[in-house]
Amino acid sequence: MCGIVGYTGPQSAFTPIVEGLRRLEYRGYDSAGIALGTSNSLFVEKRAGKLANLEAALPANLPTVHSGIGHTRWATHGGPTDRNAHPHLDNEGKLAVIHNGIIENYAELKAVLQKRGHTFTSETDTESVAHLLSDLRKEHQGDLSAAMRAAVAQLRGSFTLLAIHADNPSTIVGVRRNSPLVAGIGKGENFLASDVAAFIEYTKRAVELGQDEVITITPETIEITDVHGAKVPVREYEITWDKEAAQKGGFAHFMLKEIFDQPKAIADTLIGRLSDNNQIQLDELHMTDAEIKRIKRISVIACGTAYHAGMVAKYAIEKWAKIPVDVEIASEYRYRDPIVDQDSLVVAISQSGETMDLLMAVRHAKAAGARVLAVCNTNSSTIPRESDAVLYTHAGPEIAVASTKAFVTQIVAVYLIGLKLAQVRGELSDAEVKNLYHEALKLPGQVEQILETVEPLRALTRTFKSNNTVLFLGRGIQYPIALEGALKLKELAYIHAEGFAGGELKHGPIALIEEGTAVIAILPPHDEHALDEKMLSNIQEVKARGARVIVIAAEGVEVIGAEHVIRIPIAAPLFQPVLATVPLQVFAYEIAVARGTDVDQPRNLAKSVTVE
């Protein structure tokens, strides 16, 4: 969950490294540090806190060098202090290492290395790698790449590592295991980073790395080997978005920009998915019609916000395709011996494609014989590469830690999966699929309509900034959205918030209601189950006990008992969750701003959770 950057080339290395770290600061911001490869020595500086603390500590006459590595940290082993910040050095001060992930056997390594005379100065697992590499490099006659290959064979855990040595500072060596690392190919310069956002200003040519592959870059060359030293072909791909997509675009925060990006993101995810003969086109599934018809069960696995998208998937897929769907938290999945086989489809949802809990669950499902379909927003990340197929969403880079546009595009992606399965299995006619797809195509315009009328909601929200508890109520397919609304408020404003199914209110949660309690209720559209009428009863129940009630309801629907009503456009019932999500995002954002919290980088959170 850390940001990693390496650069070697003709530029002053400080600029691309620090700019890259700034773009990756959302991945970790407990501390930051750099190691620059000066002649026969390393210039190292590191500071606890945000990147600005590091920049303030740098001398005005910083040496001009042409290679180096940089790191922003999200603390695991050892607190966020100067001495625990990366890079970590060997005892000679000539070899520097930065690290994302966890070295599980670091204590064993540390004990061995201390017996050899190495002195440790931090509480981190990473420092053991610096000392280990130092010894191995000497054993391999100064070959840092060979030392890295030997080190990987001794390390347990998940990690990305970059190393640089003062004796040959233009060479940077990296490796990844269950943690992201990507290379960028420039003109006479090369890059390494945990995310392409770090170097997109300089190049759109990127190289993916496989498990335990060691990469060595110089200004002119890129070489990839396996742990045995055999060369691996360089697998290049093109980055399809530009640096402007990762900037705020005039908004106060990345999150607000990303909320307003949602109409385009939804449209980009939907575009071109219906053929001229009304067939849903999802060639990425890599499944024949016969294989789709054999599916007997679907398991959706995900974490956090993506888990809520998976809950929406259950409603849509079961309604349209008539296939039973289980939705499970990925971190729990493989510990209960789930029943999956070759007739099972496992849908793994992740924004980053690097979520460690989910990656382990994917591997478990594949080992059990299931086919795995990833839904992901990040090209060539680990989970898509290890899945049998991938459906990419097109949200573009999402910088704010709390997910917004990635979430709604995940929902749209699972709608497409549901429609495809239903059409192939004959549960929906081509005409029905066409109608539903065209209903989905209305979503970008409907979200735009909500955003155009959002100012009164922003003003209203600020009146709730002193509330220390907010409850969210949903029924049917809106229940996952109530959970998502509560999660957003927890993440951004650090307020106790809970989402409940409306029918559960009287089974305990109503005891929480007292004078002034804020309750946000999502009114479902009227259907044969009359869930809207039941939710209106829930509203009366909390109102009678003194709650301040905000209701999200479709245009024209009568609402009784609410202090405030937030209107959203009328949509088909299964598509309404996308629309109901947007006001909840704005609500969480505005309360966070009013309370003065860090909207884009909430405390204790990181964008990509790459440890279990």
**Rounded to whole angstroms, how far apart are CA atoms 595 and 579?**
26
**What's the CA gap between 317 and 433, in Å, rounded?**
13
Q: Please give the DSSP secondary-structure letter assigned to residue 291.
A: H
The neighbouring-strand residues paired with 551 are: 521, 565
**Out of 2, 376, 434, 488, which one is annotated catalytic?**
2
Q: How far apart are CA 41 and CA 137, in angstroms?
A: 16
Taking residue 190's Cβ as centre, other Cβ atoms within 10 Å add up to 28
Q: How many residues does the chain have?
A: 612
At 434, which helix (H) or strand (E)?
A: helix 430-441
Nearest to 217 by CA among 37, 9, 2, 10: 9
Taking CA atoms, 371 is separated from 46, 432, 450, in Å, by 45, 28, 38
* Alpha-helical segments (H) within 7-160: 14-24, 51-57, 106-115, 126-139, 144-154
Largest CA distance in the chain: 79
For residue 320, the Cα-to-chain-centroid distance in whole angstroms is 28
Q: Around Cβ 577, how many Cβ atoms within 10 Å?
A: 28
Which amino acid, residue 291?
E
Residue 344, beta-bridge partner list: 297
Count of CB atoms within 10 A of residue 555's CB? 9
Residue labelled with tokens 């949802």: 349
Rounded to whole angstroms, how far apart are CA atoms 236 and 209?
10
DSSP state letters, 550-602: EEEEETT----S-SEEEEE----GGGHHHHHHHHHHHHHHHHHHHHT--SSS-
Q: Tokens standing for 599?
A: 């909207």
- CB burial of 100-128 (b: ≥16 within 10 Å; e: otherwise) equals bbbbeebeebbeebeeeebeeebebbbbb
Q: Which residue has the tokens 């003194």?
A: 546
Catalytic residue among 46, 405, 434, 607: 607
Of the candidates 254, 360, 317, 302, the residue with the CA atom closest to the CA atom of residue 23: 254
Question: What share of residues in the chain are helix, strand, coil (percent, to 5)?
Answer: 40, 25, 40
Task: In whole angstroms, give the CA distance from residue 468 to residue 552.
Answer: 21
d(CA 68, CA 38): 9
607 is an active site residue: yes
The question of whether 376 is a catalytic residue gets the answer no
Cα(first)–Cα(last) distance of the chain, in Å?
A: 11
- Other beta carbons within 10 angstroms of residue 360's beta carbon come to 18
Strands 182-185 and 214-217: unpaired
SS3 state of residue 421: helix
Residue numbers annotated as active site? 2, 607
